[in-house]
Amino acid sequence: MEKEEPITSKSLENTAQIAGVFVENLFTTLWKNRGEAMVIQLEGNLGSGKTTFVKAVAKSLGILGIITSPTFVLEKIYKIPPKNQKETGFQQLIHLDAYRLGDKDDLNSIGWKEILKDPKNLIFVEWPERISGAFPNNSLKISFRFIDEETRVITFYS
């Protein structure tokens, strides 16, 4: 997997800008095989910015409302507005948190295999290391590293 140069975010606003650029690139250069869902694995310790990034992506996609971590419910599904569905080809953003899972077999309860087959799904997974082996080979990875209260280092892998 190719690793890009790390990007340092100095604020929430800066992270939102980085997420916006990511969304722009998502549909032009990053995602070429649209025969299945797009999966993005989010790696990083607690408080490193994973959920903040998903919130910013959701906003960039026009999703209104409050986006919260799915830690206690495993997954949250957000509908992408029709205008942005046409532009992106995605109909829903699925946000998973695997922190409380034992292994990839725990995903059976949410119909993981079916979710992966649908090319209209954009899936973000926090704590992917808890369910290693559950992801397609072409999934993307984003690593988040906490530096201080305002600063995060974000690294993209494709």
3 state SS of 53: helix
Q: What percent of the chain has pLDDT over 70?
A: 94
Residues making up the chain, counted from first to last: 158
CATH for 7-157, among 3.30.930.10, 3.40.50.280, 3.80.10.10, 3.40.50.300? Answer: 3.40.50.300
pTM of the model: 0.91
Count Cβ atoms within 10 A of the Cβ of residue 77 and give its class: 0-12 exposed, 13-18 middle, 19 or more buried: middle
- Residue given tokens 């532009």 in the structure block: 87
pLDDT digit string, tens, across residues 115-138: 999 999 999 999 999 998 999 888
The pLDDT tens digits of the residues spanning 142-158 come to 999 999 999 999 999 87
- How far apart CA 2 and CA 74 sit, in angstroms, is 29
